[in-house]
Structures are given as structure tokens and as C-alpha cells.
Amino acid sequence: MEARKIEQIAMRWFEAFNTKELDKLLSLYDDNAQHFSPKLKIHKPETNGLVKGTGALREWWQDAFDRLPTLHYKVKTLTANEYRVFMEYTRTVQGEADMEIAEVLEVKDGKIVFSRVYHG
């Protein structure tokens, strides 16, 4: 897949996330996609930071949207090749300090198959 198309997937990801359109967000993922996040380790320690499948992703993000109604991501940079996109963005939540985040989305056949979040 062309890097430009991978970047378009990333931009649709940000749009769906920021509008909290969960079905639109999940439509970008393969049914068996995996997602790793340090926040998962904190809020769902039984996962050890990793969830598998769109059902688990739905549960995780719905919980996040419910807990953090002002959650918003601002894109800083996108760097893509034909397999993945590296995203840098700022996480803002009213009443919390902004957090700088990096995330990698791995894409196969036009769908996200793995995502990994990095932050301090």
C-alpha cells in the first residue's frame, strides 16, 4: 500500500477518535487487530497492556470516551511507509496536563492490524 494511503488511514483515525465515532474508528481495524498501550496496563492490568480483536478495542475506547469526555488528539507529525505510520500527537484532557504521545499503526490490506502507543 502506498505511504500516502497509509497517512490517509491515520488522518481518518484522528477524525474518528476526536469525534468519538467508535464504529467509524473500529472500521479502520482488522477484526483480529491487536493494540498495546501503557494506559491499558494501568486501567486494565489483567491485559498486561495488550487487547486483541475489535470487541476488546470497542470496550477499551468506549470506557476511555466515557471517562474522558474532553479527550482530544492534536496531530504533530505523521511519517509513513507502505506498511505502517508513525504518529506523534498531543493528548489533551480538560483538567489534566497535556501529554505527548507517539503511536505506530501497522496496516495490511488497508486495515490496521496492530497499534502500539508510546508515552512517558
% residues pLDDT > 70 (the chain)? 99
What pLDDT, on a 0 to 100 scale, did the predictor assign at position 1? 83
Residue 113: pLDDT over 90: yes
Residue 118: pLDDT over 90: yes
pLDDT digits (tens, 9 = 90+) for 16-29: 999 999 999 999 99
What is the residue range of 114's domain?
3-118
Mean pLDDT of 41-67: 94
pLDDT digits (tens, 9 = 90+) for 89-106: 999 999 999 999 999 999
Classify the C-alpha dihedral 91-71-56-75 as positive or negative.
negative
Domain containing 103 — which CATH number? 3.10.450.50
Long-range contacts of 80-88 (CB under 8 A, 24+ apart): 80/3, 80/4, 80/6, 80/7, 80/10, 81/3, 81/6, 82/1, 82/2, 82/3, 82/6, 83/1, 83/6, 83/107, 83/108, 84/6, 85/3, 85/6, 85/7, 85/9, 85/10, 87/10
% residues pLDDT > 90 (the chain)? 96
Distances (CA, A) of 2 to 26, 73, 108: 21, 24, 11
Number of domains in the chain: 1
